[in-house]
Amino acid sequence: MRAAALAAIGGTQIEGELAWMSWVGTVWRLAGKSGAVYVKRAANLEGERDRLVWLHGRLPVPELVGFFHAAGDDWLMTRELKGVPLYHPSVGWPPSRVARVFGEILRSIHASDATGCPFGVARRGHVLVHGDYCLPNVLVSEGELSALVDVGAARLGDPRQDLAAGVWTLQYNFGPGHAREFLDAYGAPPMTDQEIERLRRRYGR
Ligand SMILES: Nc1ncnc2c1ncn2[C@@H]1O[C@H](COP(=O)(O)OP(=O)(O)OP(=O)(O)O)[C@@H](O)[C@H]1O
Ligand SMILES: [Mg+2]
């Protein structure tokens, strides 16, 4: 793994920092002379690896640099893409703007050509879904989408799954009141407050 990281980031020294910890895994950022990689450790990352490969060139997902199995876990190494996750204050936008951009980005993901996608079920009404469409998984740079990460659940599926995650994550990060801007920017049909709340509660089920 060290050799793979050095080959990707250049030089002979690795500078590492803990980037992210969640219930399912841990992510480190390893920086070298000419770049950085992210290493994600979790029980099973084969699905994410396979999706990164298929999505490459279709959506702005990170390039897969290596994949290892050690110490009972999978280790997934990706090249760093620039950008700041949408929940982060350094994005510098008010929540309403975040919500709108977040909706526009989702519309473009769902509109992308998913012909031949080997994940999920191809049927009427299904689109290419991210599968965990939360603010930390969407990076922007200079006002534009720069990276989509955490694509282990991406597949042909019901677009409402991503809409539910989007509504949930906006409320989690910014409090209630931003779902409508997100849904309008996406182009969803008008919903009552009750319908929006029902949608939000779908997340994680
Ligand atoms: N290749 C990359 N380039 C830039 N940033 C990255 C990259 N990979 C991961 N990150 C950053 O690390 C964070 C954690 O990565 P990721 O979302 O894959 O981990 P996770 O443990 O699955 O997260 P979650 O808590 O959503 O389950 C991301 O939110 C993103 O900020
Ligand atoms: Mg994530």
Q: How confident is the model at residue 179 (pLDDT cuts 50, 70, 90)?
A: very high
Mutate to test the pocket of ligand 1, among 37, 149, 151, 173 (most ligand atoms within 8 A of CB): 149
Ramachandran class of 90: left when φ > 0, alpha when ψ lies in -120 to 50, beta otherwise: alpha
CB-based contact 149:139 (threshold 8 Å): yes
Of 9-13, 142-146, 201-205, which gets the smallest average pLDDT?
Answer: 201-205
- Ligand 1: distance of its center to the CA of 195 in Å? 30
User: What angle (nearest 5°) sits at the alpha carbon of residue 41, between those of residues 91 and 84?
Assistant: 10
Give tens-digit pLDDT for 40-95.
Answer: 999 999 999 999 999 999 999 999 999 999 999 999 999 999 999 999 999 999 99
> Which protein residue's CA is at the shortest distance from atom 25 of ligand 1?
22
> For residue 144, is pLDDT > 80?
yes
Q: Report whether pLDDT(202) > 80.
A: yes
Ligand 1 centre from 94 Cα, in Å?
23
- What structural domains does the chain harbor? 2-79 (3.30.200.20), 84-202 (3.90.1200.10)
Binned at pLDDT 50, 70 and 90, residue 191 comes out as very high
- The average confidence (pLDDT) of the chain is 96
Cβ burial of 93 (10 Å; 0-12, 13-18, 19+) is middle
> Tens of pLDDT along 159-175?
999 999 999 999 999 99
DSSP assignment of 28-47 equals EEEE-SS-EEEEEEES--HH
Can you read off the two tokens belonging to residue 85? 């996750």
Closest residue by Cα to atom 16, ligand 1, is 150
Point out the ligand 1 atom lying closest to the alpha carbon of residue 62.
1
Protein residue whose Cα sits closest to atom 29 of ligand 1: 136
- pLDDT bucket at 204, cuts 50 / 70 / 90: confident
Residues whose beta carbon lies within 6 Å of some atom of ligand 1:
19-20, 22, 24-25, 27, 38, 40, 62, 78-81, 85, 136-137, 147, 149-150
**Which H or E run includes 9?**
helix 2-9
pLDDT for position 39: 97
pTM: 0.95
Cα–Cα distance between 129 and 157 in angstroms, integer?
6
Q: Is the pLDDT assigned to residue 205 strictly greater than 80?
A: no
pLDDT digits (tens, 9 = 90+) for 8-48: 999 999 998 888 888 888 999 999 999 999 999 999 999 99
Distances (CA, A) of 66 to 19, 35, 77, 92, 100: 18, 15, 5, 33, 35
Is-contact 161 103, C-beta < 8 A? Answer: no
DSSP characters over 179-197: HHHHHHHHTPPP--HHHHH
